[in-house]
A and B are shown apart, each in its own frame.
Chain A
Amino acid sequence: MIAQILFFSLLYVVGLLVATAVKGRVPLMFIAITGFLWGSLIWVLLVICLLILGVPLTATSTGLGLLLLTGAALVWHIRRGSWQHIAGQAWRGSAGIAGLMFIIIVVIAQFNNSIVSPDSTYMLQTASQLISDGLADHVVADLSSRSIFLPAMHSAANLFGMDYFYSLQPLYFSIFCLTFVYLAVMAMAHIGVSRPWQSIILLTVGIVWFSSYFVIYQALYIHTNFNSGLYLLVGIGCFWLAHTTTQQDWLLLGAAAMIGFTLWRVEAPLFAVLFLGIWFAGNQVPYRSRWQSIMVYSVPVFIWYAVLWLRLGSLETVHLDPMRVVLILLAIAGLNGVVFFSNRAWLYRWLLRFRLVLLVAGLTLVLLVLVYLKGWHMWESFLNLIDDMLPLRGWWWGGIWLFAGVSLAYLLLNQLLRRRPFLPLEFYFLTTTLVFYQMMLALVFLRRNPYYVGLQDSGNRMLAHILPLILFYLVLKWAWTLKQANAAERTTSQ
């Protein structure tokens, strides 16, 4: 228990130090809430570096690595004099949040209510194998099936003589709740909704969230899906704020969050590339910021997948084979190419400004071909996904999807009927969501069996990636609609 508390606190501090060094004008409070996310991402990247260099993962090697990073961040802070900059901000509130984070870390370490499935145990096995075998062939094969983030995090438990960190998942869940509230409040304040209404909106979404069985299940379930969704929410939330507040420093953190999203799941790079294409290939934010952020995302991800490609060879794998890894590498390279040339006026005029429509239309076409090739398989998967989401055959999500779907439909209908303006970058949100579902369906083509109705179906679990983002969009849309209603009433009364 003490080991967990110490390790998580250490990662939190490292995350705070590094993130405050790169945060720019991003509020300190946000860094204080998400410090552990950056700390755990840094840990995973450190593990990847050591594995690639062939350095055994020991307490000494990883401790030295963390020490070096912390030292570098401290030097950066001292040279930049950033303490004075931080002191000028509302640091008391952030210090309070940091204190709360430590309390959360200590409290949740008292209980082990973990839920595990075979997938969990495989990943925990891989975690221990990372320590004992490094990047041996069987470890590479496992990592190509279930990705590296979760094994890398739990590998530290082995260094402390534990099998796994039972409070890791509750910690991510706690951070999710705080992050969601913070991002939502930031965005609603930017839209201009009053404090009481911010509270009402969050309270309404909150009671639905916390009463859903499968949501609470995610707080205890040792797996990748919910955490992947957490990083995705942070990524897209940061992108939205970067686009709408003109503070491009959000972009960098968003891109870093997308690395986290990508490293949680093997199929995630494909989703990430498309999402980044949606948000980065436009011209709303300066070219330089876009280009920097996309490089921050691409370099570590590209290196990791290149290493996988070099090592996979003829290994017997479940999900990734060399050809699929090449496709992922090409997709990342293609994304970089698109963003690199996105400042060309002709390219934007003739292609990139239609990218949302082209993307959805292209994926629809692909899906039609896949349906033609495997009709029953695809149709069954689609129907089962619907069943998973609704409390008809599947009960695990409860009414949360129904709530999100009906509420969004109501808000959209209201907007269309009253001819009110759209939420800023609303089509980005809509396209991100639509593309997610399209990709999910496209991926099932590669599976032996269709998605099925069940708690543990990977399709059902993957819904946890997008649910936080949909709820975030709902919050923004609701707030935006109220604001528009206010504006319309003022215009009428004048």
Chain B
Amino acid sequence: MPGRNLHWGFSLPIIIMAMVAVALNINTPISFSELHKPLPDDTLRTLANSYTTSRVSAPHYFKDFYTAQTLITTQAALDAVPISANTLTRDSRLEAVQLIPQPPVVIAETATCEALVAQALAALRLRDGGTLYFLTGDAVDMAVVLLPLCRADYIVLPQTQLESLP
């Protein structure tokens, strides 16, 4: 067939590049199997049921759960659940977790705070064998969504956030 060898010769670099890309794709710090863990049907039910009629401020909403759940500081969570080096590499910003001082934890920058919460929560969920959630957003918003979203036994908050609760 005219041009067949020419086509192969020409396309080979692209095909080799594709193989390299596949090798890079597979070489991830997190297993694809994480994606296969099913999410319970009612994971978001609490949220939907309690948030239907009006928008409420985050602290007020949080207060509803305040007595029902256990609140611990970030440091306590980290003490309770050692975080593996593997999970730390997930996001370069999470390296900040390693630099956590002794409590009380004072976190000034939102992004770092968010990373702390996400990291600690991820560790808790990993320990329990549950689904790993990747979380983002403003720290206070995190508090709004964490409880109903994950039905967590623990909610991890920086000390400053805890003190600001009503």
Contact = CB atoms under 8 A, between A and B. Distances in A.
Nearest to A125: B51
A142 B141 CA distance: 14
Interface string A63-82: 00000000000000000000
Given A220-B35, A455-B90, A485-B3, A403 B17 contact: yes
Contacts of B41: 112, 166
A493 B111 CA distance: 63
A56 interface: no
Contact of B7 (A128, A208, A399, A485): A485
Contacts of B10: 414, 481-482, 485
Interface residues of A, number: 66
Interface of chain A: mostly helix, strand, loop or mixed: helix
Interface in B93-129: 93, 110-111
B21 A400 contact: yes
Interface string A108-121: 00011111111101
Interface in A125-161: 125, 128-129, 132-133, 138, 141-142, 158
Given A212-B25, A398-B21, A410 B44 contact: no
A406 interface: yes
B20 A403 contact: yes
A399 B32 CA distance: 15
B85 interface: no
A486 B35 contact: no
Nearest to B50: A125
Counting chain B CB atoms within 10 Å of each CB, which of A395, A478, A489 scores highest? A395
A113 B91 contact: no
A199 interface: no
B34 to A, nearest CB: 9
Contacts of A493: 2
Contact of A117 (B7, B22, B92, B135): B135
A132 B135 contact: no
Interface of chain B: mostly helix, strand, loop or mixed: helix
19 contacts: A113-B37, A115-B35, A118-B137, A125-B51, A128-B51, A128-B52, A138-B55, A163-B48, A208-B18, A211-B25, A395-B29, A399-B23, A406-B17, A407-B17, A410-B17, A455-B134, A482-B3, A482-B7, A489-B2
Given A133-B53, A402-B21, A482-B7, 17 more contacts: A113-B36, A117-B136, A118-B142, A129-B51, A158-B48, A207-B22, A216-B35, A217-B35, A391-B27, A395-B29, A398-B24, A398-B28, A400-B21, A454-B93, A454-B136, A482-B11, A486-B6
Interface of A: 111-119, 121-122, 124-125, 128-129, 132-133, 138, 141-142, 158, 163-164, 166, 197, 200-201, 204-205, 207-208, 211-213, 216-217, 220, 391, 393, 395-396, 398-400, 402-403, 406-407, 410-411, 414, 449, 452-457, 478, 481-482, 485-486, 489-490, 493
